[in-house]
Structure 1
């Protein structure tokens, strides 16, 4: 049975449905940190994963003091397959029932002008590491008969995007994977959700060299996503994401590509 829309905030609904522990990647900042705070408020113990150990440790102390939960810190560079495997192994002794794969980054500008190493590292983090962790935890969830998986897609996942071509392609992979796994795993007790927000006011834009002047907060994205978990394959959290979707929906795919190219040109003008 899906969780009712109002069941999550300040309640034990997530813990009751999925179990006592959630693993959150990208937990040191932005949307990942927002997920961690909201899951702690719902009473889940946490495994926090990101590159910056000091930031994770500070967050763990905050959540333990405020909510009385247990939080384990796992510092890892998810661009390296061996470190992704280390994360999966390190969490094997916890009854993890919810995976929130929020780690990721973007680039912008003409693809041919980008740094090849950075573009390939983005594929490693956004796609390969996500698939590696999803595979590991999906197997565990099927064995335990229940679980939840949140994969961070994006508005850009639904068409090619000039000046963010590789980033959009990584999110198209995430979106397609989530849709397929939603159908595969739901009969086996595992909920899979793609969360596809529009612009988000976080550190993402600065790292991607994008000017994001309006958008949703990470807290709003995390809250809407958790409310939607168990209710469908994809959520577009917030009014802005829904409005952008409706403005693009009537256009043929080539028209959406052109429109998103204009939007991205405005966001990446130097």
Structure 2
């Protein structure tokens, strides 16, 4: 058994698996929404390849998933903002038979657009735009050759706002996935993008931000995001907004008064306060 890999397999049947030996690759798969995807993919019997930067957290997630579901779990320690790491994962997608790709890796980049230090904003482009483009392209080529596969990109309801660079990169992800789905039409490969609302994860704390003060009923569980996205890609739906309440919000932002997204964006910007000590 090589380092970073645990072995075993579940024999629970699942009608939506893409093959008898299906494998899914999840970026950002050690925590939050990515881990929720990993759980649900493992529950349906898929082996996993988890990609993340934090090796201890990655190994812990792999061990837990193997123990709970008995599937094979391989870990790949990679920072997708580093070109060499990105190319390494790109090659893996070309060399291995990956049936489902979930591009979840990302982070909050809510800094002022006029800041002189643009390094964080550049890293956001690398992780949430370039990496999505490169990895989806590699997976799409390999999947098209086999005539089957799924690609899921994790965007955000922020894509419908104009709050900051995070909104911009997440909006790019929506447009890109729509284009990708069109390119893959007729190949047997499906592509979907999921736009969750506010999700209960460590997303804000990891960025040194206070969690938004919004009513509890607006928060969405990571498991809801993963379940909705997996169902959407299975049905061939390109855009997915989990939960009825956020689908209503998305409709209002798209089809309501032109000023509505700008008003909401101002509120979002004002809520991006650093936590004490940051």
- How does the TM-score come out when normalised to structure 2? 0.86
Q: Who is 2:212 aligned against?
A: 212
Q: Displacement, 1:241? A: 1.8
Unaligned ranges ≥5, structure 1: 1-9
Which is bigger in relative contact order (C-alpha 8 A, separation at least 6)? 1
Q: 1:98 to 1:143 in 2, by over 3 A?
A: same
- Size of the alignment, in residue pairs? 258
Asked if the contact 2:18–2:99 (Cα under 8 Å) also holds between the matched residues in 1, the reply is no
Unaligned ranges ≥5, structure 2: 1-11
2:223 aligned with 1:224: no
Q: 1:121 to 1:15 in 2, by over 3 A?
A: same
**Aligned counterparts of 1:258 and 1:71: Cα–Cα separation in 2:** 44
**Aligned counterparts of 1:143 and 1:253: Cα–Cα separation in 2:** 43
Q: 1:11 to 1:243 in 2, by over 3 A?
A: farther
Q: Who is 1:192 aligned against?
A: 191
Q: 1:186 to 1:230 in 2, by over 3 A?
A: farther
2:240 aligned with 1:235: yes
Q: Displacement, 1:114? A: 6.9
- CA deviation profile, 1:79-113 (whole Å, cap 9, x unmatched): 01210111232354532111000101122242223
Asked if the contact 1:186–1:192 (Cα under 8 Å) also holds between the matched residues in 2, the reply is no
- How does the TM-score come out when normalised to structure 1? 0.88
Select the residue among 224, 236, 245 that pairs with 2:250: 245
- CA deviation profile, 1:41-88 (whole Å, cap 9, x unmatched): 110000000001111111111111221110110000000121011123
Q: Which moved more, 1:170-179 or 1:15-24?
A: 15-24
Q: 1:144 to 1:228 in 2, by over 3 A?
A: same
**Aligned counterparts of 1:38 and 1:155: Cα–Cα separation in 2:** 22
SS of corresponding position for 2:101: strand
Q: Displacement, 1:264? A: 3.5
**Aligned counterparts of 1:167 and 1:206: Cα–Cα separation in 2:** 16
Select the residue among 98, 116, 122 that pairs with 2:124: 122
Structure in which a larger fraction of residues adopt helix = 1
Q: Who is 1:158 aligned against?
A: 160
Q: Who is 2:65 aligned against?
A: 63
Q: Which moved more, 1:80-89 or 1:140-149?
A: 80-89
**Aligned counterparts of 2:224 and 2:20: Cα–Cα separation in 1:** 22
SS of corresponding position for 1:112: coil
